[in-house]
Amino acid sequence: MIAEDIFQQTFRKIGLRLTKQRKAIFEYLLNNHTHPTAQEIFSNLHPMYPELSLATVYNTLEVLVENSLIQNLGSAFDESVHYDADQSPHINLICTLCHKISDYPTESINQLTMQIRSTLGFRVSGARIVYYGKCRTCLKNNI
């Protein structure tokens, strides 16, 4: 299968074995842009992979981050670390009424990132930019 080859190549390139678990976790992050925590990933995959353990989820996430295949978004609002396969810095908008998280890609961030790099000599490896407030839909519906 072609899809298998892509995973194989990606993992082989960085000297990692392609296990069912790693494939499942990485695939999950590629297909879901919900910024899940380790626990959420585990809960979602467990029905399909009953043999998967939470410790493996943590191990795998660490390995994927180390090899820059995914991003660690840190824990901004709850006490858990969130992960994302989307590597480009983008804005998360959290609506405090409907609790939906939406993404907002914009050029401004690249400018800001470059500014930080050049002005401060800080080597940026990631960013979490979260705005919270009330989304257009909730405002319109006067919730």
Question: Which residue ranges make up the site for DNA (CB under 7 A)?
Answer: 8, 11-12, 16-22, 37-39, 49, 51-56, 58-60, 62, 75, 79-81
CA 72 – CA 84 distance, rounded (Å): 7
How far CA 128 is from CA of 1, 17, 46, 92, in Å, comes to 36, 30, 28, 8
Residue 49 near residue 43 (C-beta atoms within 8 A): no
* 37: helix, strand or coil: strand
By the rule CB under 8 A, 6 interacts with a second copy: no
Q: Which is nearer to a second copy, 45 or 129 (CB)?
A: 129
Q: Which is nearer to a second copy, 31 or 119 (CB)?
A: 119
Give, as ranges, the residues between 108 and 127 that touch a second copy (CB under 8 A).
Answer: 108-109, 111-113, 115-116, 120-127
By the rule CB under 8 A, 39 interacts with a second copy: no
CA 77 – CA 62 distance, rounded (Å): 21
**Could you tell me whether strands 101-104 and 82-84 are parallel, antiparallel, or unpaired per DSSP bridges?**
unpaired
By the rule CB under 8 A, 106 interacts with a second copy: yes
Q: Which is nearer to DNA, 62 or 103 (CB)?
A: 62
Identify the CA nearest to 39 among candidates 50, 51, 20, 53: 53
Q: Which is nearer to DNA, 22 or 95 (CB)?
A: 22
Give contact residues for a second copy (rule: CB under 8 A): 72, 74-77, 79, 81, 91, 93-96, 104, 106, 108-109, 111-113, 115-116, 120-136, 139
